Amino acid sequence: MSKQNRRSFIKTVGLGAAAATAATYTPFAIGGATKKVVVIGGGMGGSVAAKYIRMMDKSVEVTLIEANKDYYTCFASNEVLSGERSLDSIKFGYGGLKGHGINVVHDKVTDINARARKVVTAGGHSFAYDRCIVSPGIDFKYDQIEGYDANVANTSIPHAWKAGPQTQMLRNQLKDMRNGGTVAICPPPNPFRCPPGPYERASQIAHYLKAHKPKSKIIILDPKPKFSKMGLFTGGWERHYGYKTDNSMIEWHGTPKGSDDNVLTSIDVKTKTATTGFSEVKADVLNVIPAQKAGKIAFTAGLTNESGWCPVRGDTFESTIHKNIHVIGDSAIQSPLPKSGYAANSEGKVCAAAVVALLNGESAPDPTYVNTCYSVIAPGDGISVAMVYGFKDGKIIKIKGSGGLTPGKFDAKLREREQYYGYSWFKNITHDTFG
């Protein structure tokens, strides 16, 4: 039994003892007067689940607990790095959700009592639920990189993998960098939030450097042998950034299976040096994106398994560990759905429909899911990946024949359209979530 597992085990046993007394006054929804849902986390998954529950059934009381007053989308945040958009343009408040009759509480959840069906916050409040939806996003495995921790990330070497102040810090560092400087990007190992993200990031930074600091270089130290939309990205890098020439602005160094070539082992904060199994790279701007795991509350509440993510049923997203708690978004084990904003949106709606049905004593409806995700390699060069998913024999499956990537052969007309469809996608998915 791993350390983590033992801790969760003790936690669960502890909760059980507390539950014996709590169970007597826990409201019981079916046939009862109240239907209470507590949603933890106001990101892409939690917010849309809260909103759609209210759209489907106004008799359900929904409380959304989120620590921050504003949410910054991870998608499109790479365009803040290139200066194509402002940080404010990816910032969303919770006024829209309040308008749907959702009780939005800005507080930090410290524990979930699964037996007593209660959520406890740092502010000292307690919220009873019939069903709880947990959507805490990701947390980072800082301990895998020597010299790196949350404090370093917040003060000098940002991961910027949760958009917000760190996004602005990275943008400022790029602006302050000399012409001829080196930007090193260290993407995480699988699985992680937004699989094409690190490579769109390299593209957007290259777009900025090409116009403002053309002697500069971007070095990607990747612990993986390949990456999402790889052919489309490298094709775009050839078109725009001299990739595969001696003068390439972007260098990608992958790691063959079983090797540790470009696996980041340590960093030196002062000199911004990244050390991998194979080399040392001294950077002017260093962007370390650490390996990832489920958000903290998922661990505290004992919702994770040995993988560090949360096992769930694919049709309801109810935890297979704790009854009446659903986990959606990046924290859930939802493969073959990716850890993306659109997948979280789709999962949020499937989960909302299941929660409403179960609270009304009905069986959960048959689910359907979509993922669609855009990246912009350079202005006028947008690409996308899409897939339709269904549910069969207890599992989420890709619908055969559907989905796939933008065609590899460059077509200026279609690539420009994909960029603008991507911008419309941004408008509509954020409005669908927070509006």
Partner 1 sequence: MIRNTITKSALLATGLMLSVQSLAEPSAEALGYTCAGCHGTNGASTGNAIPSLAGLSEGYLIGAMNAYRDDERSSTIMGRIAKGYTEEQIESMASFFAAQPVHSNINQKYDATKARAGAKLHDKYCSSCHTAGGTDPEDDAGLLSGNSKLFMKYTLADFHDGSRDMPKRMKKKMKKMLKKDPDALGKLVNYYGSGK
x/- binding map, residues 204-223, to partner 1, per CB under 8 A? --------------------
Amino acid (1-letter code) at residue 310: C
Q: Does 404 bind partner 1 (CB under 8 A)?
A: yes
Report the interhelical angle of 197-212 vs 230-241 (nearest 10°).
0
Among the listed residues 146, 176, 280, 362, the single contact to partner 1 using CB under 8 A: 362
Residue 265 binding partner 1, by CB under 8 A: no
**What amino acid occupies position 184?**
A
Q: Residues binding partner 1: what is the number (CB under 8 A)?
A: 51
- The residue count for the chain: 435
Query: Closer CB to partner 1, residue 57 or residue 79?
Result: 57
Tell me the chain's radius of gyration from C-alpha atoms.
22
Q: Is 47 in the site for partner 1 (CB under 8 A)?
A: no
Per-residue DSSP letter, 143: G
Q: Does residue 424 touch partner 1 according to CB under 8 A?
A: yes
Question: What is the sign, positive or negative, of the torsion defined by CA atoms of 98, 103, 106, 110?
Answer: negative
Range 13-32, binding partner 1 (CB under 8 A):
none
Beta carbon nearer to partner 1, 128 or 359? 359
Q: Which range binds partner 1 by CB under 8 A, 26-34, 144-152, 296-304, 363-371?
A: 363-371
**Candidate residues 232, 353, 359, 396; the one interacting with partner 1 per rule CB under 8 A:** 353
65-73, 128-136, 189-197, 350-358 -> range binding partner 1 (CB under 8 A): 350-358
The single-letter DSSP state of residue 334 is -
CA atoms within 13 A on the CB side of 231: 8
CB of 342 to partner 1, least distance (A): 5
Identify which range of 30-38, 174-182, 228-236, 343-351 contacts partner 1 by CB under 8 A.
343-351
Under the binding rule (CB under 8 A), the answer on residue 421 touching partner 1 is: yes
Of 419, 421, 387, nearest in space to 405 by CA:
387
Determine which helix (DSSP H) or strand (DSSP E) holds 221, and give its type and residue range.
strand 217-221
Strand partners, 62: 37
395 scored as a contact of partner 1 (CB under 8 A): no
**Per-residue burial over 37-48, b = 16 or more CB atoms within 10 Å of its CB, e = otherwise:** bbbbbbbbbbbb
Distance CA 66, CA 289 (A): 24
169 binds partner 1 (CB under 8 A): no
Please identify which residue in 103, 149, 357, 410 interacts with partner 1, judged by CB under 8 A: 357
Near partner 1 by CB under 8 A: residue from 19, 22, 388, 410: 388
Interface segment toward partner 1; rule CB under 8 A; list 5-13, 152-160, 190-198, 416-424: 416-424
* Longest distance between any two alpha carbons in the chain, whole Å: 72
Stretch that binds partner 1, among 77-85, 163-171, 213-221, 367-375 (CB under 8 A): 367-375
DSSP string over 252-302:
EE---TT--TT-EEEEETTTTEEEESS-EEE-SEEEE---EEE-HHHHHTT
Does 434 sit near partner 1 (CB under 8 A)? no
The DSSP secondary structure of 23-75, one letter per residue, reads GGGS---TTSS--EEEEE--SHHHHHHHHHHHHH-TTSEEEEE-S-SSEE-ST
From 5-13, 18-26, 130-138, 346-354, give the range in contact with partner 1 by CB under 8 A. Answer: 346-354
Per rule CB under 8 A, is residue 402 in the interface with partner 1? Answer: yes
Is residue 406 near partner 1 by the rule CB under 8 A? yes
Alpha-carbon gap, residue 304 to 297, rounded angstroms: 10
Per CB under 8 A, contacts with partner 1 among 49-68 are: 52, 55-58
Q: Which residues bind partner 1 (CB under 8 A)?
A: 52, 55-58, 342, 345-346, 349-350, 353, 356-357, 360, 362-363, 365-370, 372, 384, 386-388, 390-392, 399, 401-404, 406, 414, 417-418, 420-421, 423-429, 431-432, 435
